[in-house]
C-alpha cells in the first residue's frame, strides 16, 4: 500500500493527501515532522536526505517534493482523473505547478509563518506587507487566467489545481487586505465543493 510520511497540518503533505483522496487511493500515513519530529532520524534521512515532509513510498519507489509526488500520482493513477487528457493541457498543468513553487511559495510561506506561527509582538510588519503585495500580484496574474477557464489546465479539474488550490485556502483565510480577484474566488469556491478539498485543506491553520 502507498505509504506517506508527514503531518497533516503541513501544506505540502495536504497536497498529497488531497491527490490521493481525489483518486480514491488507500494509503498508510505516518505522522512526522513539526511537533512529531523524526525528520533528522537516520531511517528517515535514508529515504529523504532533504529532511522535510512529505515523503512517499509506492511500489518500491521512494519520492519526496510534494509537487513531484502529485505528478507521480497523477501519471500513475490519475489518467483519467488528475492528468489532463491532452498533451498541451498536460504541459500547462506542469507550468502552473512549477509557478506555485517558484513564484507564489515564498510570499505565501512568509504570510503563513508570520500570521499563524508567530506571536503578534514578534511579527515583521514590513515583511508581511511585502509578502502581501507580492502574493496579491501573483493571485492577480492568476485571476486573468481563470477568467478564461474553469480550472488551471482547462475545463476540467487536474493536478495543476492541487498546489495552488492548497495555497488559495490560506490566502482567503488570512486576516489581510486582498486585491479583488473574482475569478480566483470563483475557482476557489468550486474547489470548496469538492469533498477531498473539504477534508484535507479546509481545516483550521496551525
Ligand X SMILES: N[C@@H](CCC(=O)N[C@@H](CS)C(=O)NCC(=O)O)C(=O)O
Least distance between ligand X and beta carbon 123 (Å): 20
Tell me which residues in 144-173 interact with ligand X (CB under 6 A).
none
Neighbouring-strand partners of residue 29: 4
Which distant-in-sequence residues (6+ apart) come within 8 Å of 111 by Cβ? 128, 131, 132, 135, 170, 171, 174, 176
Contact yes or no for 3/16 (Cβ under 8 A): no
Rule CB under 6 A: is residue 100 a binding residue for ligand X?
no
Could you give the CA distance from residue 136 to residue 14 in angstroms, rounded to a whole number?
23
Tell me the per-residue interface mask from 61 to 80 with ligand X, x by CB under 6 A, - otherwise.
Answer: ----xxx-------------
Among positions 2, 22, 33, 161, the unique one binding ligand X when judged by CB under 6 A? 33
| Residue from the set 5, 12, 143, 197 that interacts with ligand X by CB under 6 A | 12
How far is residue 76 from each of residues 28, 94, 105, measured CA to CA in Å? 18, 15, 26
Work out whether 55 is an interface residue with ligand X (CB under 6 A).
no
Cα distances from 188 to residues 29, 67, 108, 162, in angstroms, run 27, 19, 16, 11
| Nearer to ligand X among residue 67 and residue 181 (C-beta) | 67
| 34 counts as binding ligand X under rule CB under 6 A | yes
Q: How far is the CB of 61 from ligand X (least distance, A)?
A: 16
Name the residue whose CB lies closest to ligand X.
33
Among 8-16, 81-89, 142-150, 169-177, which window interacts with ligand X (CB under 6 A)? 8-16
Which residue, chain included where needed, has cell 508570520? Answer: 114
Instruction: Enumerate binding residues for ligand X (CB under 6 A).
Output: 10-12, 33-34, 39, 52-54, 65-67
Amino acid at each position: 500500500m502507498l505509504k506517506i510520511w508527514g503531518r497533516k497540518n503541513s501544506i505540502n503533505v495536504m497536497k498529497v493527501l488531497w491527490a490521493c483522496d481525489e483518486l480514491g487511493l488507500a494509503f498508510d500515513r505516518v505522522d512526522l515532522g513539526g511537533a512529531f519530529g523524526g525528520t533528522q532520524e537516520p531511517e528517515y534521512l535514508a529515504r529523504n536526505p532533504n529532511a522535510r515532509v512529505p515523503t512517499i513510498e509506492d511500489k518500491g519507489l521512494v519520492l519526496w517534493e510534494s509537487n513531484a509526488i502529485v505528478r507521480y500520482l497523477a501519471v500513475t493513477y490519475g489518467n483519467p482523473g488528475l492528468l489532463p487528457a491532452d498533451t498541451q493541457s498536460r504541459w500547462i498543468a506542469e507550468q502552473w505547478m512549477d509557478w506555485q513553487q517558484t513564484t507564489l511559495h515564498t510570499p505565501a510561506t512568509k504570510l503563513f509563518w508570520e500570521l499563524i506561527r508567530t506571536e503578534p509582538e514578534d511579527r515583521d510588519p514590513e515583511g508581511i506587507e511585502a509578502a502581501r503585495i507580492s502574493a496579491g500580484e501573483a493571485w492577480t496574474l492568476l485571476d486573468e487566467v481563470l477568467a478564461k477557464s474553469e480550472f488551471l489546465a482547462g475545463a476540467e479539474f487536474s493536478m495543476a489545481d492541487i498546489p495552488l488550490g492548497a495555497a488559495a485556502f490560506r490566502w482567503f483565510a488570512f486576516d489581510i487586505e486582498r486585491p479583488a480577484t473574482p475569478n480566483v474566488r470563483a475557482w476557489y469556491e468550486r474547489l470548496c465543493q469538492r469533498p477531498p478539498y473539504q477534508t484535507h485543506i479546509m481545516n483550521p491553520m496551525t
